[in-house]
Each structure stands twice: as C-alpha cells, then as structure tokens.
Amino acid sequence: MSLSMNGVSSRVMQFIDPEERHRAGIQMPFQRLARQMQDVLGDGGILKEVVHEGEGPLVPRDASVSIHFSGFLEYSDQPFESTRSFKFPKMMKLGKDMTVWGLDIGLRTMKRGEFSRFLVQPRYAYGEMGCPPVIPPWATVLYEVQVIDYLDSAQVDEFFALSPEEQNLSPLSTLLNVVDTERSFGNRCFNQRRYEDAKDRYKQAMTLLSNRKPADGDEKRRVEEANLPFLLNLSLTYLRLERPHKALQFGQRALKISPTNTKALFRCGQACLEMNDYEKAQDYLAMAQARKPFDTDINNLLRKLALSYKEDLDKEKEMCSKMFSALKSKNKDVSGLEE
C-alpha cells in the first residue's frame, strides 16, 4: 500500500498540524482513499472498495470463512498483521474469531473469491485504547481482504447447542445436513494437510451419527450409509498420519457396510502394504482390481506390492546366504587341525 502525498513525504506529513493541512488543502492518505469507497453502514464507520468481484451469494451471517487479509495503519507500507505468510489460512467463525468488529461486518458484504479494501474507523476497530504498542489510540485502519471460501455453519452451531435428547428428536435430514457440513470442514483440513484436525472433524460427525436412535429400519440404513464416507476418509487420514493399523480398522468397518466397496478394499490394501503384510495386501487389492480392472491407482499399488515383496525376498535370501556362509566357516574351523 503506497499512497503518495503530492511529493510531500508521508513521514513529514505526520507532524503537520491537522488544521494547517486543512488550510493548505492537503489530504491525508486515508482521506484520499475514502473518496473512492462506498459507505457500508451509512455512518461512515466502515468504507469499502471492491478491487476484484467475487461470485455467488454473500457470506452468510454465521459462516466460517477462510480469508487472506492484511491490516495497515496510515503512513505505513508494512502491515501490522497479515495472513499472507500462510499457504492455507485457518477457517474463522464470524461473530467469534474476528478481533475487529468492522472486519466482521465487512466480510458479510463479500462473496466467494472477492478481493476488497475496508477503511475502518476507530469505533469499529481498536477504539480509544488502541492495541499497544502496535495500534495507537483512535487509529483508523485499512484492511485488504480476499475471501477464499466459506461454509455456512449456522445449522451446525444450532445443532450442537441442543442436548443429546433434543438432537435425537431432530429430523434425520437435519442431522445429515450437519454431518455433511462437518465432512466439508474435515475435507478442507485434509486438503490443507492438517490431518489431525481432519480426523477430529470426521470423528465428531461419526459421534453424532452413532448417538442417533433410528426410528425404523429405513432410518437405520440411512444412518449406516451416512457413516460410510467418514470411515473411508478416516482410513485415508490415518494413512497420511502413518498409522496403518488404524487405517485398516476403519477400512474394514467400511467393508462391513459395503463389502464390495472399491475404495475400502484399496484402503485396506494400502494399510496392509504399509505393515508389510503382503499376503493380505494382495487379497484386498486383487478384489479391488476385480471391481475396477483398469484403475491406475490400484494397478500401480499392485506393482509396488510386487516390487516390495521381491525386495524383501532378496533381503531374506541374502541374510540366509550370509548365515550359511558363517555357519560353514565355523564348521570348517571346528573340524580342522589344531596348529
């Protein structure tokens, strides 16, 4: 952010009395910027400039958002806070995780993919106290914000606020919507390589499903089917966490629900291969290949299995050969003449 002052150094401008600036017709950087911005609330407290349009609906009131943002003070080219150093910024809950009220309000005017600037007056930012030693009292701040994505978590929040008994009385469709949102959160964590967080999200959703007391056989079937993607995702997540025993357990649980599920067979094969259980790995992968003969991942893993098995056999042969040579040499020493 570089806002020139018609040749007058911004460093010098800080020490010019405001009334003198007004008489000289000199505008401050934020004053100049404000002229091209829109008033969000109508009271001048939060001004907005859209730099790059987004698409789709506005960010919902109770959403969890993934954003990149940088905050600037006037006369500063360096942000006092920024998420730009993070490849994957964490999801933040509106109304809870934002430290600046004006930024929280501003986000609700944005769309997915949008990049905007917000000029936030002190009453919507850090107020009369500021945030020493970084933010001075009564500071107006500028935020540059990009909405990467968001998830509407209002229904999830409402559901978790219910007692277990109330949750069980809720329509099944509500429960399925809630666990689907949890899966979306988990998938986002997984894609950002935050595997422990992903695991916790998946398990939390499965706990909700396990607490459900099905009203009839059809509802029981639907709850079981809803468990399947979480079991598959947990199996893969544990593989990423290098815990193949747990990966195998969740893969086998998935097979109990769907015995011919190719992904479950493949996950079990992966886990067995990681544990050097080549025979079981071969069994699982052969069944997966029978379902999808031309699947690249399955065939590649079968080749890896064959190579790993051969390498282990070669190592075993080499070890036996060394042991036999050592034994032969020892026998020769025993049967030879004493010198």
Residue carrying the six token digits 């993070």: 86
d(CA 173, CA 157): 16
Residues 161 and 287 in one domain: yes
* Integer CA distances (angstroms), 82 to 33, 50, 64, in order: 20, 19, 18
Pairing of β 115-120 and β 141-152: antiparallel
Residues 102 and 136 in one domain: yes
User: Does position 19 have pLDDT exceeding 90, yes or no?
Assistant: no
User: Does position 103 have pLDDT exceeding 90, yes or no?
Assistant: yes
User: Does position 99 have pLDDT exceeding 60, yes or no?
Assistant: yes
Residues 183 and 143 in one domain: no
Residues 58 and 112 in one domain: yes
User: Does position 332 have pLDDT exceeding 60, yes or no?
Assistant: no
> What are the φ/ψ torsions at residue 196 (nearest 5 degrees)?
-65, -40
Domain of 188, CATH number, reads: 1.25.40.10
Please give the pLDDT value at position 77.
84
| Residue 311 forms part of a structural domain | no
Sort 215 into a burial class: Cβ within 10 Å, 0-12 / 13-18 / 19+.
exposed
End-of-domain residue from the set 152, 183, 208? 152
Domain of 60, CATH number, reads: 3.10.50.40
Residue 223 falls in which region: left (phi positive, over 0), alpha (psi -120 to 50) or beta: alpha
Residue type, 243: R
pLDDT band at 312 (very low <50, low <70, confident <90, very high): confident
Sort 249 into a burial class: Cβ within 10 Å, 0-12 / 13-18 / 19+.
middle
Q: What is the pTM for the complete model shown?
A: 0.74
pLDDT band at 43 (very low <50, low <70, confident <90, very high): very high
pLDDT band at 11 (very low <50, low <70, confident <90, very high): very low
Inter-residue contact 275 to 284 (CB < 8 Å): no
d(CA 106, CA 47): 9
Mean pLDDT, rounded, for 54-69: 93
Residues 186 and 228 in one domain: yes
Residue type, 58: L
Residues 274 and 218 in one domain: yes
End-of-domain residue from the set 98, 117, 152? 152
**Residue 273: count of CB within 10 angstroms of its CB:** 22
What percent of the chain is predicted at pLDDT more than 90?
Answer: 71
Domain that holds residue 118: 22-152
| Residue 58 forms part of a structural domain | yes
Residues 238 and 165 in one domain: yes
| Residue 321 forms part of a structural domain | no
Q: Which residue has the higher pLDDT, 49 or 19?
A: 49
Residues 6 or more apart whose CB falls under 8 angstroms from that of 246 comprise 234, 238
> What are the φ/ψ torsions at residue 90 (nearest 5 degrees)?
-70, 155
User: Does position 40 have pLDDT exceeding 80, yes or no?
Assistant: yes
Please give the pLDDT value at position 184.
93
Tokens of 38: 């829109």
User: Does position 28 have pLDDT exceeding 90, yes or no?
Assistant: no
The number of folded domains in the chain is 2
